[in-house]
Amino acid sequence: MPELPEVQWTIKNVAMQSCGKQIANVEIYHPKLSIPEPQRFAALLEKRRIVEISRHGKWIIFHLEPKSAMLLHLRMSGRLAMLLPGDPLPKYCVAAFELKNGQRLAFSDARKFGRIIFTHCAKTYLQALGPDALSKQFRINYFQEMLRASRQKIKALLLGQRVVSGLGNIYADECCFAAGIHPLRQANSLRDGEIIRLYEAIQQILESSIALGGTSFDAVWTGGGYQKELQVFHRQGKVCLRCGETIQKIKSGGRGTHFCPKCQK
């Protein structure tokens, strides 16, 4: 699943070719993809201009004129690609946005879990989420307060998006390892020093991944080089690069969880 760094790279690649362009036509090929339903969604979006593209965690926000927004979530297998006039639609295409210059923005999604939402106020749909992990709103004092009040397992809290947005399975595992925290620890059991280490790990790892083009074992954006830096994710059975212990993988909440039993307590 694309997480914050991969979403950021997707935005970078799409924004260069779509910002400032008017949407001339919208085709939806999956009936459950959009809110509102496809015909109404297309009518609302057509003739609007893409002003800016930003993110909140894993959500991509297309800021439009007249003032409105399209929210897009790639979920498990979503991809965005800019097509030149005459290019065929990619396999598993669920939506295509034709721009006035003839280019098309294609949204393909093999599993069909992705979502697109038209709204006049993006905050309405994003208000239940925690702050973006790399935003100024994600402060250490806020993070400490939220963790002290939670009995959730720390990895489950990071994945839940309500405390902090943008982390998925890969970066939750990597951040817990970098901070020396077992992923099944209760959040309110973490000491102040551990919370600070985890906060700093989130910042540093996400920034480093963005700098290297994100992490992907099936990269759809330029780069995808951070997988070479992974310390625990998909390294079960291999030695820990820090201590030499064997990396383990367990199931927690239906998700594969990777950790070092010696480095993480």
Same domain, 91 and 154: no
Distances (CA, A) of 155 to 53, 92, 176, 251, 256: 29, 32, 8, 12, 11
Residue 173 in contact with residue 233, Cβ under 8 Å?
A: yes
Confidence of residue 217 (pLDDT cuts 50, 70, 90): low
Same domain, 58 and 30: yes
Same domain, 166 and 97: no
Euclidean distance between CA atoms 33 and 35, whole angstroms: 7
34-35 β-sheet, strand order: 34-35, 115-119, 68-73, 59-65, 49-56
Mean residue pLDDT of the chain comes to 96
Same domain, 28 and 96: yes
Whether residue 232 lies inside any domain: the answer is yes
Whether residue 133 lies inside any domain: the answer is no
Domain end among 93, 126, 159 = 126
Stated as kind and residue range, the H or E segment containing 73 is: strand 68-73
pLDDT exceeds cutoff 70 at 219: no
The tally of domains found in the chain comes to 2
Same domain, 147 and 73: no
Stated as kind and residue range, the H or E segment containing 196 is: helix 192-211
CA within 13 Å, CB half, 68: 14
pLDDT of residue 2: 92
Whether residue 117 lies inside any domain: the answer is yes
Instruction: Give the tens place of pLDDT for each residue, 87-114.
Output: 999 999 999 999 999 999 999 999 999 9
pLDDT of residue 20: 98
Confidence of residue 254 (pLDDT cuts 50, 70, 90): confident
pLDDT of residue 191: 98
What is the set of active-site residues?
A: 2-3, 58, 255
Same domain, 12 and 58: yes
Whether residue 132 lies inside any domain: the answer is no
Same domain, 8 and 120: yes
- Please list, residue by residue across 190-217, b when 16 or more beta carbons sit within 10 angstroms of its beta carbon and e when fewer do: beeebbebbbebbeebbeebbebbbbbe
Whether residue 39 lies inside any domain: the answer is yes
Instruction: Give the tens place of pLDDT for each residue, 41-55.
Output: 999 999 999 999 999
Same domain, 120 and 183: no
Whether residue 135 lies inside any domain: the answer is no
- The whole domain housing 12 covers 4-126
Same domain, 211 and 151: yes
pLDDT exceeds cutoff 50 at 56: yes
pLDDT of residue 64: 99
Strand partners, 115: 73
Rounded percentage of the chain residues whose pLDDT exceeds 70: 97
What amino acid occupies position 74?
L
Q: Residue 49: which of 114, 97, 9 has the closest Cα? A: 97
Look up the CATH number of the domain holding residue 230.
1.10.8.50
Same domain, 153 and 240: yes
CA within 13 Å, CB half, 13: 20
The terminus-to-terminus CA distance of the chain in angstroms comes to: 27
Proportion of the chain in helix, strand, coil states, percent, rounded to 5: 30, 25, 40
Look up the CATH number of the domain holding residue 76.
3.20.190.10
CA 145, chain centre distance (Å): 24
Domain end among 126, 150, 174 = 126
Same domain, 184 and 98: no
Confidence of residue 218 (pLDDT cuts 50, 70, 90): low
Whether residue 8 lies inside any domain: the answer is yes
Instruction: Give the tens place of pLDDT for each residue, 166-190.
Output: 999 999 999 999 999 999 999 999 9
Domain end among 104, 126, 148 = 126
- pTM for this entry: 0.95
pLDDT of residue 249: 98
pLDDT of residue 221: 45
Same domain, 207 and 171: yes
Whether residue 17 lies inside any domain: the answer is yes
